[in-house]
Structure 1
């Protein structure tokens, strides 16, 4: 349970607070507890069971048990079929709005050819494995942060620096470059902060519920919930409910590139994050997933992952890759002048 200044935080889903699920602790098949109907809607929302009808009850039936087991398996939790502490804590955590196994956008789990001991990789893709392409390689994508869809307490320069670092983090692993532009409408990737129903059919739900969402290639929309308390530096922002902007930005860019959610709790592409948690370093699973879509940056090696977050994530280092890629970006910049 998330607590701020001694009070429970209401993080809503469909008008009902996720924190109310705490009363479901230890519920299992055969139980009848107020709130189970809303839990069924939650699990349906993220792809674990069919959408319940209006006559949905608060009974813990066999369908809910199957959904709970699927949820526990998918998110690497102990598979008990009951609403134990670990499962409820995960359910009540703030998370990404992209479904984990949406029936309209199913994902596939791939074997890692380089994994030791035949370990199964946990990265996933959107259905059809969509990715960005260019008729004339290399791939260089433009992005822009909306000048109007903002949160007033964060300086625009600080937000732009966060996204510069987040894009650079992915760029150093694959032969894809990102260049920031002031032309929001023309950008390949459009970033903005929005609250509630914001016109894309996937409304936000208030603080500490759904943090953000992004669409698969080549849509390019990346939206963050303006109702959250976003932080760019925990050393200067002591708010207990603060969400690290760079962590969520890095995660959502993974979706923009075509990655689904990972089942590895350590991965950036795992669907949830706690308040005041910073999770920006790509794991082997994240990298192998994105490289399966785009190939490897010739100058990148998996052994360099431990260095990420230091000099390699400098705000000015937007591109990582070959000299040809860098030259292409410079040409683009010159032509925009």
Structure 2
């Protein structure tokens, strides 16, 4: 409980999360609570964005409130500290929202139009990690230097010096067929870091890192069902890593499904102290496409070595 950081704080002001995940025991379709299978491939938790595509400053549109909450959670908007805004939940597209959208567009290498154009909606609707992209809510319309864009959490929390071997354990009901994929992800970080080693703990309570599938409101960050937020993990030294059980999980590149190992690589990066990267090919890039596998990038490797000095 030492370092929940601003991630937990950011989750507090994300009240619109309409997350109702369902655990999946099968290789591909989701298993509903009544035991029936639902293979609807178009349901997305960020689907409201399609209904407000094209809106711009000055308009009053149903769904703008959800857009404001989306941008607030992921670090682009902070009405709480703006005395000029009396009702941040209303459906008005104001100056502050336009600036937040421009900041989002710059972060994701889009044209900074300030309008909710098709490329912006498409990017926002892509399934992603639940951790915020930014912590400060500062707007920027300047292009980034993409030579090295790894980032650390505020205060650079990391595992204590001398704590170079970390143990991990899987929660009750974690599918055994996914265990080797997660173990491979730990092995890749061990090789990349030239610092850490990992092994499976004898028991769940004794592990430094815990991995599980969760649904809905489960005591910390709530999940959202298919699409939307796929997984999240905490900064050092909390150690928790959760997958959204309502998404379609597989090992490898399978259409309409997400690779367990790819997402594990990303979330383990958070567990070790890396924030999201602004390089698209990095594993610490915030979003994931179904049917795609991904490995560690030079930016990820530079980041972990810079943090731990190897």
TM-score normalised according to structure 1 size: 0.72
The structure showing larger relative contact order (alpha-carbon pairs under 8 Å, at least 6 residues apart) is 2
Post-superposition offset of 1:127: 0.8
Give deviations 1:49-96, integer Å, cap 9, x for gaps: 015786622221101101101111122222221112211111111110
Post-superposition offset of 1:145: 1.4
User: Equivalent of 1:183, from 203, 206, 209?
Assistant: 203
User: Equivalent of 1:141, from 166, 174, 190?
Assistant: 166
1:165 aligns with 2:177: no
1:122 aligns with 2:155: no
Partner SS, residue 191 of structure 1: strand
- Residues 44 and 73 of structure 1: CA distance in aligned 2, closer, same or farther (over 3 Å): same
1:277 aligns with 2:292: yes
Aligned length: 262
- Counterpart-to-counterpart distance in 2, 1:244 and 1:275: 8
Partner SS, residue 165 of structure 2: strand
Tell me what 2:51 maps to: 23
Post-superposition offset of 1:19: 1.3
Post-superposition offset of 1:172: 0.6
1:99 aligns with 2:113: no
Whether contact under 8 Å (1:41, 1:51) holds in the other structure is: no
- Counterpart-to-counterpart distance in 1, 2:257 and 2:156: 33
Structure 1, unaligned runs of 5 or more: 13-17, 107-117, 297-337
Structure 2, unaligned runs of 5 or more: 1-28, 30-37, 81-85, 139-144
Tell me what 1:213 maps to: 232
Which is greater in Rg?
A: 1
Post-superposition offset of 1:267: 0.9
Whether contact under 8 Å (1:214, 1:220) holds in the other structure is: yes
Post-superposition offset of 1:177: 0.7
1:197 aligns with 2:224: no
Whether contact under 8 Å (1:167, 1:250) holds in the other structure is: yes
Partner SS, residue 293 of structure 2: coil
Q: CA RMSD in A?
A: 2.3
Give deviations 1:264-323, integer Å, cap 9, x for gaps: 1111101111121212x1111111111111123xxxxxxxxxxxxxxxxxxxxxxxxxxx
- Counterpart-to-counterpart distance in 2, 1:138 and 1:272: 30
TM-score normalised according to structure 2 size: 0.78
- Residues 162 and 63 of structure 1: CA distance in aligned 2, closer, same or farther (over 3 Å): same
User: Equivalent of 2:77, from 33, 49, 56?
Assistant: 49
